[in-house]
């Protein structure tokens, strides 16, 4: 399944083992506290809608080795936009921060979705696109989360008075929470995950 990842603000979709990860990182000198929901498996549409409402930013992740996961991306992006799109003063709708992420690009011989496919979808939906390998790269997944955070900042999400009332339903309260471990890298920045996989339970 394609998944979107909620950051404290963000979300996703997946199987039985659903988890909210708490994670602190310094981005551009700012300490940022993330809550990341890795959604699990097949869910009914009410459940996924509730989780999408909870998130502030979204990484819709597919595997480049799984065409079905790619085919889910458009539906999820439309659903996110439908539930979060807000009209700007100009009248045009402002999209919530969403990125499309093709994971497992290291598995070249198992690839079923080309980079061009990802780029075409990104252009059609006007949503940024990343191809990453959580196995091979630390920086690539970090860039995904940084870009979502930057977009939230740009949209004034963290300005005084902008905090929305968080939808915390009985369903969301049931999802276990986990504190990611913190470490300080050589540049002195606090980074609390070793790879994107720290966000995504096995
Ligand atoms: N080669 C490679 N394997 C990866 C990568 N990312 C994840 N995996 C592996 O793919 C498998 C599935 O990863 P998950 O992160 O559990 O994927 P998922 O979509 O959350 O799985 P479900 O929640 O069960 O749908 C695991 O064995 C991971 O180690 C990657 O970038 N490259």
Return the residue matching tokens 């004034």.
156
* Alpha carbon nearest to ligand 1 atom 13, residue: 202
Q: Contact 155/148 with Cβ under 8 angstroms?
A: no
Residue 30 corresponds to which tokens in the numbers above?
Answer: 């700012």
Measure the CA–CA gap between 169 and 38, rounded to whole angstroms. 17
Calculate what percentage of the chain has a pLDDT beyond 70: 64
Question: What distance in angstroms lies between residue 2's CA and the mean position of ligand 1's atoms?
Answer: 11
Q: Choose the residue to mutate in 63, 64, 196 for probing ligand 1, maximizing ligand atoms within 8 Å of C-beta.
A: 63
pLDDT at 194 over 90: no
Residue of higher predicted confidence among 56 and 91: 56
- Is the CB of 105 within 6 Å of ligand 1? no
The pLDDT score that the predictor gives to residue 30 is 82
Measure the CA–CA gap between 68 and 50, rounded to whole angstroms. 23
pLDDT at 60 over 60: yes
The pLDDT score that the predictor gives to residue 24 is 81
Question: What distance in angstroms lies between residue 81's CA and the mean position of ligand 1's atoms?
Answer: 26
User: Does residue 177 sit in helix, strand or coil?
Assistant: strand
H helix runs in 85-138, sequence order: 115-125
Query: Which residues does 173 contact at the CB level (< 8 Å), separation at least 6?
Result: none
Question: What distance in angstroms lies between residue 28's CA and the mean position of ligand 1's atoms?
Answer: 29
* Alpha carbon nearest to ligand 1 atom 23, residue: 14
Return the residue matching tokens 């008075």.
161
Which of 4, 5, 41 is CA-nearest to residue 23?
5
- Is the CB of 202 within 6 Å of ligand 1? yes
Q: What is the mean pLDDT of the chain?
A: 76
Question: What distance in angstroms lies between residue 31's CA and the mean position of ligand 1's atoms?
Answer: 28
ipTM summary value? 0.93
pTM of the predicted protein model: 0.78
C-alpha distances in Å from residue 152, one per residue of 55, 74, 158: 11, 21, 7
């Amino acid at each position: 399944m394609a998944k979107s990842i909620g950051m404290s603000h963000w979300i996703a979709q997946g199987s039985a083992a659903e988890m909210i990860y708490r994670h602190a990182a310094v981005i551009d000198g700012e300490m940022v506290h993330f809550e990341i929901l890795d959604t699990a498996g097949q869910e009914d549409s009410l459940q996924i809608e509730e989780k999408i409402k909870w998130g502030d930013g979204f990484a819709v992740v597919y595997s480049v080795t799984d065409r079905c996961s790619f085919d889910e991306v458009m539906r999820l992006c439309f659903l996110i936009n439908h539930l979060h799109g807000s009209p700007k003063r100009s009248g045009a709708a402002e999209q919530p921060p969403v990125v499309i992420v093709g994971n497992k690009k290291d598995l070249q011989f198992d690839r079923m979705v080309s980079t061009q496919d990802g780029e075409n979808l990104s252009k059609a939906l006007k949503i940024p696109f990343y191809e990453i390998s959580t196995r091979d790269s630390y920086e690539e997944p970090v860039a995904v989360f940084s870009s979502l955070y930057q977009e939230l900042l740009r949209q004034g999400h963290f300005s005084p008075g902008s905090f929305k009332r968080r939808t915390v339903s009985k369903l969301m309260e049931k999802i276990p929470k986990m504190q990611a471990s913190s470490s300080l890298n050589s540049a002195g920045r606090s980074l609390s995950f070793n790879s994107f996989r720290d966000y995504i339970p096995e």
